[in-house]
A and B are shown apart, each in its own frame.
Chain A
Amino acid sequence: MAVSYSDLLQFFYQCPVGLVETDEAAHVTLVNPAAARLLAPVLGNDDLSDLLPVLERLSPELLSALTRERTALGPIGAGRRFTACTNAEQATWVELLAVRVEPGRLMFVVLDADREQELVRRERVRALEVNDQIVQSLVAAETAFGLGRPDRAAELVSSASAAGRRWIGEQLAQAGGAAAGVVRRRDAAEPVAEAVEP
């Protein structure tokens, strides 16, 4: 089945993923509505005729990769997604990928990353809460031990340990490793005395 240029152009404009085509100097030759929408918070009143100031502001890392790989064809930075914040106040995020389609012609993919970033943020908050819960129990255990109540201290250490185990269990379940029930350590667990900072 032959696909005409107008079919491709129609797909380009209707694609829900942001697409921006530029020349090597980042002058925009084509941009679809999804890209314009996702990049709007960065543009302000400027138009999207030049992607360079947008990249300078959003992702100097991607810009460096483009400069480093100025002759390479295909995905830039081994296809890495460069995460960038478009509006700090409203916490809106995008992911940027770049592909050098042919010498002098680049295609940028702009993805809505709000959901991913929100999930990452929630995960960090949850990790902090669990860590806090563990620390609180351990601190109470230290206090109980200091008061000469080793049984109470042991209960509190067990409570801290249970909170940690629950957290690891949740993480394994999310990662699909619950069936194995095993944490694959990269290194042997350190002896406590050596693990504690002086």
Chain B
Amino acid sequence: MRILVVDDSEDMRELLSILITRGGPGFELVGEADNGRAALEMVKEVMPDVVLLDAAMPVMDGLEALPLICQSAPHVAVIMLSAFPGESMRQAALDAGAVGYLEKSRLTQTLLPAMARLLDDTGPFPVRSTSG
């Protein structure tokens, strides 16, 4: 699984890359971006399977970038990450095309299992329709 990490925090990108590496050979970090606009370019360039997309970023935030990513690369599964819990934000992310929404404070427990299920296609996430 080819993974693109999008987060404006360099610390968070570094820690996510460590976490992804610990996931084993099935998970490969293929790129990093620090805002939504850069992520759009990176998606075209590296063709990831999964984008880990931070919700709050400068230049273009995750919620703004999400539908654009889904539009330009419908095969990509986007998982929205946020430091702030909130049902409205989670629902907005899912409505905009994310396959999942994870709180950053619990990523060491939730991210790898979630991506493993995505890899197995048994998914903890609602499956986004690919027919339309």
Contacts and interface: CB of A to CB of B under 8 A. Distances in A.
Q: Do A and B come from one complex?
A: yes
Contacts of A143: 12, 15-16, 19, 104-105, 107-108
A192 to B, nearest CB: 15
A147 B15 CA distance: 8
B15 A140 contact: yes
Interface string B15-56: 110110010000000000000000000000000000000001
Which of under 10, 10 to 19, 20 to 34, or 35 or more describes the interface residues of A?
10 to 19
Interface string A134-165: 01110110111011010010001000000000
Contacts, number: 41
In this complex, the member of B11, B107, B108 whose beta carbon has the largest number of chain A beta carbons within 10 angstroms is B11
A86 B11 CA distance: 45
Contacts of B56: 132
B9 interface: yes
A49 B107 CA distance: 63
Nearest to B103: A139
A146 B16 CA distance: 11
A135 B19 CA distance: 20
A136 B108 contact: no
Interface string A153-186: 0001000000000000000000000000000000
A137 B104 CA distance: 11
A187 B6 CA distance: 41
A137 B18 contact: no
B83 interface: yes
Given A146-B108, A147-B19, A147-B22, A140 B12 contact: yes
Interface of A: 132, 135-137, 139-140, 142-144, 146-147, 149, 152, 156
Interface of B: 9, 11-12, 15-16, 18-19, 22, 56, 83-84, 104-105, 107-109
Top 3 A-B residue pairs of the complex, sorted by shortest distance between their CB atoms: A146-B108, A140-B11, A139-B104
Given A144-B15, A146-B107, A149-B18, 15 more contacts: A132-B56, A136-B12, A137-B11, A139-B12, A139-B104, A139-B105, A140-B11, A140-B15, A142-B104, A142-B108, A143-B105, A147-B15, A147-B22, A152-B15, A156-B11
